[in-house]
Amino acid sequence: MKTKLLLLITTFFLQFANAQMDDKFYFPNKTINPISLPHEEFTLKAEQDSITGIFFKKENPKATLVFLHGAGGNVTYFQKMATPFLNANYQVIMVDFRGYGKSSGTPTHLNIAKDGQQFFNYLKDRKEIKNTKIIIYGQSMGTQIATHLAKENTKDISMLILDGAFTSITDLACSYKPEAKEVIQKYLIAPYSAKEDIKLVSVPKILIHSKEDKDIPYALGKELFEAAAEPKYFLEYSGAHINALIINPDVIINKVNEFLK
């Protein structure tokens, strides 16, 4: 029975290896929630598709926070995550990659990386952003593209914050299916991984993770932190996955303020 199961898993991964199993990692939501705070919506062309987002502006902000959400929802689900930064006089810009919210198309590891760079080029050239410090903030699945963008644009950013992060898509899959670890490591190879990219990110880094996280193993967040060079800070809290900004907003804001000086 075990041999048959292993054969089935192997066949499964062989069939989908070239696609990196994208549909198993992204869960776009098209339902749009109301946004109570003043904001600007924007749209960028992405090949035959479009990516959209929202921008909460501030006059004379401390910095611009580039918020990259995780596998589910869309930008309208994360206003509560932006609020602590807005209250602390940071402006926040959020993007929905393909398939999420008002964006068209289907998300994949490859097109998110491509569209992420296009989005970053767009935001850093905006007059409201170009003379501000830029902080990239990734949550959950968004930590992979956040770290990748930080590596590719280190000279243009001032900080990287990773909330509920993990080392790589491959490692995450192994944590869910440890009995198939050898097969997964052989056939599920993502085009980029945070544990490699973070080694080349020279700006200050803050990693946030709950020991009670039931979605992303704490051990993967800690391993990613260990791979990062100084300056860095690990903020551990008690609570649900990516809930630190709800539970401990002042702790996060104070550490960001400290690192930004």
Q: Find all residues with CB under 8 Å of 259, minimum gap 6, and list them.
A: 159, 204, 206, 231, 233
- The answer to whether the beta carbons of residues 95 and 101 sit under 8 Å apart is no
What are the pLDDT digits (tens) for 31-70?
A: 999 999 999 999 999 999 999 999 999 999 999 999 999 9
CA distance 70 to 255: 22
What number of CA atoms fall less than 13 Å from residue 146's CA on the CB side? 31
Burial 136-159 (b: 16+ CB within 10 A, else e): bbbbbbbbbbbbbbbbbbeebbbb
CA distance 146 to 139: 8
**How confident is the prediction for the chain on average, in pLDDT?**
92
Mean pLDDT of 223-233: 97
The confidence score (pLDDT) of residue 20 equals 57
Predicted TM-score (pTM) above 0.85: yes
The CATH number of 2-28+37-260 is: 3.40.50.1820
